[in-house]
Amino acid sequence: MASEYHSPTHVPVRPVRPASRVAGVGPTVFATITAEAVRTGAANLGQGFPDEDGPAEMLRRAAAEITGGNNQYGPGRGLPELRVAVADDRRRRLGHDVDPQDVLVTVGATEGIAAAVLGLVDRGREVVVLEPTYDAYSAAIGLAEAVARPVRLLLDGGRWHLDRERFTAAVADGPAAVILNSPHNPTGTVLGRADLEFIADTVRGTEVVVISDEVYERLAFDRPHTAFATLPGMASRTVTLSSAAKSFNVTGWKTGWAIAPPPLLDAVTAAKQFLSYVGVTPLQPAVAWALDNADDWSDAWGRTLRDRRDRLADVLRATGQDVLHSDGTYFLVSDIAPLGLGLSAAEFCRALPEAVGVAAIPVSSFVTGEDAGTGTLVRWTFCKDDATLDLAAQRLRSADWTRLQQIVH
């Protein structure tokens, strides 16, 4: 006769604790705000994903690859046709001379960031980041048990720029790496060539590696994007990251790439191969096609985004907010202080979906320590379709800010 198992009742239940590297890490601000937008039916100008798909032929080719049987592991470093297309695209558009052997296909730029930090930064070493900082950088640095060294961007006359004195001091302390992001999330800034050359001059002759996140490289509207690796002496010190997500409106495809010379790329690959092993195989030929053939689509999309940025800026100004300059990306930052609400941006954004029916992200979510200078700044995305932007505009123009204050208090 089979015996029944009885769970012992005298054994105390011990709590399971997360590893220290993730202790205290909860849902991202993007997930939280998007969930609130869904709950309230708000127009979501918070999380940066477009409502419109990319080039139709690219989508058709991806579907054909899947139904045609290209569904197994591809080469560890990515399909050769995508690696060649990445190299050709960088050379053609940006003057970045890339050997296809120096391209690694990643599961989005986010994996590339994590693999670069894990592969190139030892435990306890510093990584310089420019604040406001995209949250994936801090997360990757934490997973590597390294230390983020923030250098706060300066805001002057509605435009952000590098704090050269603090950046010089941070590099002088001997960090392992610097993470750059231009065009920049969350501010929408495209760093000027003078700032980029200053960064290059500062790290030249050191052992510092530059991890350059250029996912918005095709979305620079008012200033040209400069590939950091093209600056004198920087090709040998730079890991460049980019992705199809922002270039071709396929954020869910998670198909990106890292570009670096062999000594750096080998280290990135060593980490990446145990994160996901390979990228999504059937999507890679479609992305290669887009890189080779979709410049016209990309240029038209950039013009559309620039127009939507300007429309949203006009709406925000009409509500009484100050609007900071955005050179590109999906994002625009406003200052709510002139509204006289007496609220921080975090309080404002928590109540905004319910009170007004619009969602946005506080810039203070992208900084560490004191939020001085960012406490009333809000990031809005303009990559949404006309219907969403029109709805948001209508609701913002007729907003009852008193109700928002009541919800907060």
Each residue's pLDDT expressed in tens, for the chain with a length of 409 residues: 555 555 566 667 777 788 878 776 777 777 888 888 889 999 999 988 999 999 999 999 999 999 999 999 999 999 999 999 999 999 999 999 999 999 999 999 999 999 999 999 999 999 999 999 998 999 999 999 999 999 999 999 899 999 999 999 999 999 999 999 999 999 999 999 999 999 999 999 999 999 999 999 999 999 999 999 999 999 999 999 999 999 999 999 999 999 999 999 999 999 999 999 999 999 999 999 999 999 999 999 999 999 999 999 999 999 999 999 999 999 999 999 999 999 999 999 999 999 999 999 999 999 987 666 689 999 999 999 999 999 999 999 999 998 899 888 8
Question: Other C-beta atoms within 10 Å of 222: how many?
Answer: 12
Q: What is the pLDDT of residue 371?
A: 64
Distance CA 157, CA 101 (A): 44
Q: Which fold has domain 57-293?
A: Aspartate Aminotransferase; domain 2 (3.40.640)
CATH level 3 topology of 29-54+296-408: Aspartate Aminotransferase, domain 1 (3.90.1150)
Any idea where the domains of the chain sit in the sequence?
Answer: 29-54+296-408, 57-293
Residue 33: its pLDDT value, please?
A: 85
Q: What is the pLDDT of residue 7?
A: 57
